[in-house]
Amino acid sequence: MQMMERPWGVATYGAASVKAMPDLVRARFKVIRVEQTPSQAFAAASDAVQEVRQTLRRHGISDAAVERSRLGLKSSWSYGGSERKFVGYECQASFSVESGALDDVQPLLVDLVAAGANEIEGVDFDVTGKGEMRAEARRQAVGAARRKAELYTEAAGVRLGAVVHIDDVDPEQAGIERYRGHGSGGAASAEDLAPGHVVVSAAVILGFSINHD
C-alpha cells in the first residue's frame, strides 16, 4: 500500500461495513471408511456416498449444487509411542453442498450423519448478493473519507481540492494503523459484530489537493 508522507495535500482514510441476513448456506463434509482390503474400503465408501446422495435429494438439493471429490484411498495407521500398527485401508470422499434452505440446515446435517457422513468440516452462511454489498461498502467508505477531508480543510481554513489519489485497502490490513488511530472510522462497529449477519467491509485512502485561493 502506498503511504503518502509529503505535505502536498490531505489524505484521509474511510471505512464502511454493510450487513445482510444470509440467504445461502454451504456445508463441507466427508465420508470416510476404513476396511481391511482396498476393495472392501471402496465398496463401503461407495455405499455411503450413494446414501448421502439420496439424502441430499430428499432435502431438495439438486446434483448441480453438490460438489464431490473422487474416492481416494490410503493406508491407515494407529500410533502408540514409537510403534505404529496397520489399521486398514481408508477410503474417503469430500462433499461441498450449497443450499438456500437455511431453516433445513439442522435436519439436513442430522440426516447426512445418519446416512454415513462421519466428518463435518464446516458450515458457512453467506449471501448471494455479496458483490453488490461490496460495491455499496466501497461507496460509503469513499463518502466517509471525503467528509473527514472536508472537516479537516474547513478547520484549517482552506478549501478542499480535487481527488488526486485513490488507494483501495484491506480494512483489516496491518499497515493502516497510521490512519485508523486518528478517528478513521475503521474501528469495529455494531455491524462488524452483528450476530447472524454476513458483514462485508471496505476501506479506502483518498488523497486530495488543497486550494488556497
So what's the pLDDT on residue 179? 45
Alpha-carbon separation of residue 3 from 11, 167, 179 (angstroms): 9, 9, 10
- Tell me, yes or no, whether 29 and 96 share the same domain: yes
User: Does 5 map to a domain?
Assistant: no
- Asked if residue 28 is part of any domain, the answer here is yes
Residue 121 lies in a domain: yes
pLDDT at residue 6, as a whole number: 59
Give the per-residue pLDDT at 190.
Answer: 45
Residues 98 and 45 reside in one and the same domain: yes
Kindly report the pTM of this predicted structure: 0.70
pLDDT digits (tens, 9 = 90+) for 10-51: 999 999 999 999 999 999 999 999 999 999 999 999 999 999
User: What's the chain's average pLDDT?
Assistant: 87
* Least confident range of 79-88, 139-148, 153-162, 182-191: 182-191
Number of domains in the chain: 2
Q: Within a domain: residue 133? A: yes
Q: Are residues 182 and 141 in the same domain?
A: yes
Pair (98, 172) in one structural domain: no
Q: What is the pLDDT of residue 61?
A: 95
Q: Are residues 121 and 47 in the same domain?
A: yes
pLDDT for the residue 180: 44
Domain that holds residue 146: 10-20+129-211
pLDDT band at 211 (very low <50, low <70, confident <90, very high): confident
Do 118 and 141 belong together in one domain?
Answer: no
pLDDT of residue 79: 87
Q: Among all chains, which residue has been given the C-alpha cell 438439493?
A: 61
Q: Residue 94 maps to which CATH number?
A: 3.30.70.2970
Give the pLDDT band (50/70/90) at residue 200. Answer: very high
4 within some domain: no
**Is residue 194 predicted with pLDDT exceeding 90?**
no
Buried b (16+ CB within 10 A) or exposed e, 129-167: eeeebeebbbebbbebbbebbeebbeeeeeebeeeeeeb
Find out whether 19 and 198 touch, Cβ atoms under 8 Å. yes
pLDDT bracket for residue 80 (50, 70, 90): confident
